[in-house]
Amino acid sequence: MDLMNFEPIRTHPQLLLDRARSEPNIVALRHWRDGVVHAITWRTYRDRVREIALGLVEHGVRHGDRVAVMSSARPEWAFAALAVQSVGGVVVGVYPTNSPAEIEQILAHSEAVAFMGETTTELNKVAEIAARAPKLRLVVGMDTAPPALPEAITGTTWEELRTEGARHPSVVSDCLVEMVAATTLDDPAVVFYTSGSTGAPKGVTHSHRTLQHSVQTVVGLYPELDSREHDIVGFLPLAHVAPALLLIFTPLLSRLVVTYCRIEDYEDALRTVRPTALLWPPLLREGRRRADRTSAGLAPGAPVRLQRRDVGRSPNGRAPLVQWSALGIAADRIHHCASPRLPAVAGKRRIGPPSRRFHRLCRDARERHCVVADLGAGSTRKLRPHRNSWLPRRSFRPDVSSPGIYWSRILGPTLRGRGRT
């Protein structure tokens, strides 16, 4: 991507068709389910979007119509978004925690003609207010069939919608290409609603063009996304603008591969996927830290003691290889060689000068997303930051709750989200 001269020329569905044509067997996204990671290629991605798009057409969804989606982070959210945009419609994100009254307000304000819900919980909420949604005429259940609905509203399941789309006569002539071509870059693509903390939620409309310029900013901040594959675990609700931008639309223009999972499964998914990037809200990180300290029996503000374990010797046999852990969690890779020759700050004294080997180990640890901590040979005292510290300031920052642990700039999954990034 030419960041200086970038100008969108293709809508999101067109970008999907391009990727499916040029990289049909490359993994586009993954899904964590029941402890197993399932891969989905660009070809499969396109086929699912085509089936859902034609299924929506079969139920009367047309260019300019709004379709609301209420679900946790999962591939079906992305399929639905691209399918609606393929028809020329507008995706309306609904928070999974919204109450029936809030759903009613969003459906009425957006004039949504269709609603896609994940589980019985979401479907029961929309069934409660369906009669008061003036434009609603289709409800789709992803995991289960919708409950009883007013006579004017059709209820169906995700699989039935796919089947109807696969049987659509336009599948043979690939009508998807023609439908996608009818949408322009300045057509509305998605509506994100505010949380409503200062009043009624307000809808913010983004076009294909504005979303892609936002992606341009993301890739500009992290240019490696454009040149090599990066993995990210997506567990935040996609009705938020930031998760939707990063987890749905950025992969269409970069090498970012998303693994979707439920928020209650994110810790297991992080340890399995070992992502190189992570979208992490501060409140969730702080909550995770408090829970870990509580489970370890630590009072608020109490120092965290590091534990050291020798795991072998360095290749030249001169120094031991050590593994540091805190709160009972240890990274599963070698961090560095602890030696009197290597620098550390223990109290007010420095132990030895920096060495090329240590800086190389710092670089390797950064690439592996591991902890780097040096307390000196045999030392178990906490490492305290020092204004003349040898630590690369742009790459590592001290964790205020665990003095002595330096986390990599990109969070590693085995660290379970502790520390600053």
DSSP-assigned letters across all residues of 152-179 = TSEEEEHHHHHHHHHTSTHHHHTHHHHH
- Grouping H, G, I as helix, E, B as strand and the rest as coil, residue 18 is helix
**Quick one: pLDDT at residue 69?**
97
**Quick one: pLDDT at residue 190?**
96
| pLDDT of 328 strictly over 60 | no
107-139: pLDDT as tens digits: 999 999 999 999 999 999 999 999 999 999 999
**Quick one: pLDDT at residue 290?**
65
**Quick one: pLDDT at residue 345?**
31
% residues pLDDT > 70 (the chain): 65
54-99: pLDDT as tens digits: 999 999 999 999 999 999 999 999 999 999 999 999 999 999 889 9
**H or E, element range at 53:** helix 42-58
**Which domains can be identified in the chain, with CATH numbers?**
12-279 (3.40.50.12780), 286-415 (no CATH)
**Quick one: pLDDT at residue 292?**
59
The mean per-residue pLDDT over the stretch 377-394 comes to 32
Asked if 319 and 405 touch (Cβ cutoff 8 Å), the reply is no
**Quick one: pLDDT at residue 225?**
86
Question: Please, what sign has the CA dihedral across residues 272, 274, 278, 280?
Answer: positive
What is the distance between the alpha carbons of residues 50 and 48, in angstroms, rounded to a whole number?
A: 5
175-205: pLDDT as tens digits: 788 889 999 999 999 999 987 777 788 899 9
Using 50, 70 and 90 to split pLDDT, how confident is the model at 379?
very low
What is the distance between the alpha carbons of residues 419 and 411, in angstroms, rounded to a whole number?
A: 8
Nearest to 203 by CA among 88, 62, 107: 107
Using 50, 70 and 90 to split pLDDT, how confident is the model at 384?
very low
**Quick one: pLDDT at residue 274?**
85
**Quick one: pLDDT at residue 279?**
83
**Quick one: pLDDT at residue 278?**
81
**H or E, element range at 54:** helix 42-58
| pLDDT of 248 strictly over 90 | yes
pTM: 0.71
Q: What is the CA radius of gyration of the chain?
A: 25
Question: Does residue 229 or residue 410 have the better pLDDT?
Answer: 229
Nearest to 329 by CA among 402, 387, 397, 266: 402
| pLDDT of 317 strictly over 50 | yes
Max mean pLDDT among 67-81, 175-189, 333-347, 376-390 falls in: 67-81
Q: Crossing angle, helix 100-110 and helix 120-129, to 10 degrees?
A: 60
231-246: pLDDT as tens digits: 999 999 999 999 999 9
Tell me how far the alpha carbon of residue 86 is from its chain's centroid.
23
Give the amino acid at 101: A
